[in-house]
Amino acid sequence: MKILLPLLTLHVIALSAAETPPLLAVPGKVIYESRLDTEPAAPWKAAKGRWELADGAWKGSELAEDRHGAVIRLPNQLQDFVVEYEFRFDGARTTSLSINAVKDHMARISITPKSVTIQRDDNDHEGPDKAVVFARFPADLAPGTWHKARLEMVGDTLVGRVDDLVAWGSDELFKSTKASPGFTVGGQSVAFRNLSIREASLNPGWESARATLPKPGEKVMPAPVPGKGRAKGKGKKKAA
């Protein structure tokens, strides 16, 4: 029985990934898979914040002295892929699934208890490039409740999903190598579990699936007021 347990664990995660029908991407070979039920360790690299095991899941928390959201990443380079995981707000202001380019940021699903944003990131910070928001949905993600997130990237296109909120967008930047997938947390704290990263191929039915989704920019509610809810004296923070 002890020998079968690891196999059963992987099988359960694989079944969870299969529950979500493909939109842009058809999942293939497993790149990385974990229930996130052991202490954070290599190959993960925690750049900021506190990352620990709590109640059978990872917990990420921002540290005030960092003046930056908590960040933890895998060093992998990716091409076409699907990422799936579950998260739970436990008091934090925000969390994200962040994908880097080889240099600087590429794309993310940014989540607060009241909104879900799917976007192409600013890729040069100080230069002329700017983030492009494909969708920003209102949401009601109550603390203490588990939610599912999924990011599909194939070619120049991505699809982001949180529970039943789904959007897509395209950009030439997405054709380049993706790097360092990871989680970010602003505030105290967010839990994570059941992470799966798989290679992906284009879904032959993508054109039909795309027709059922909002067009990029069609569902963009106003952005939150910068600094609202933060302690006085803290400056604006860059995306992690």
pLDDT digits (tens, 9 = 90+) for 166-223: 999 999 999 999 999 999 999 999 999 999 999 999 999 999 999 999 999 999 999 8
**What CA–CA distance (Å, rounded) separates 138 from 88?**
17
Residue 44 lies in a domain: yes
Residue 129 lies in a domain: yes
Q: Which residue in the block uniquely carries the two structure tokens 């060093």? A: 75
Which domain does 82 fall in, by range?
A: 4-220
Residue 232 lies in a domain: no
Give the β-pairing of 132-138 and 219-220: parallel
Return the sign of the alpha-carbon dihedral for residues 99, 105, 108, 112. positive
Tokens of 184: 């970010």
Residue 38 lies in a domain: yes
Question: Of 161, 148, 203, 164, which is closest to residue 24 (Cα–Cα)?
Answer: 203
What total number of domains does the chain contain? Answer: 1
CATH number where 120 lies: 2.60.120.560
Whether the per-residue pLDDT at 9 is higher than 80: the answer is: no
Residue 21: its pLDDT value, please?
79
Task: Tell me if the bond preceding 43 is cis, omega within 30° of 0.
Answer: yes
E strands along the chain, which residues? 25-34, 45-48, 50-54, 57-61, 70-73, 77-78, 81-89, 92-101, 105-112, 115-120, 132-138, 146-154, 157-162, 165-170, 178-202, 219-220
Residue 225: its pLDDT value, please?
63
Tokens of 119: 């976007």
Summarised one tens digit per residue, pLDDT across range 117-142 is 999 999 987 778 889 999 999 999 99
In whole numbers, what is the pLDDT of the chain averaged over residues? Answer: 88
Residue 235 lies in a domain: no
Burial class (CB in 10 A: 0-12, 13-18, 19+), 210: middle
Q: What is the value of pTM for the model shown?
A: 0.85
**What CA–CA distance (Å, rounded) separates 166 from 118?**
9
Whether the per-residue pLDDT at 239 is higher than 70: the answer is: no
Residue 125 lies in a domain: yes
Residue 237 lies in a domain: no
Over residues 99-103, the mean pLDDT reads: 92
Summarised one tens digit per residue, pLDDT across range 45-99 is 999 999 999 999 999 999 999 999 999 999 999 999 999 999 999 999 999 999 9
Residue 239 lies in a domain: no
Over residues 10-29, the mean pLDDT reads: 67
Q: Which residue in the block uniquely carries the two structure tokens 């290599």? A: 42
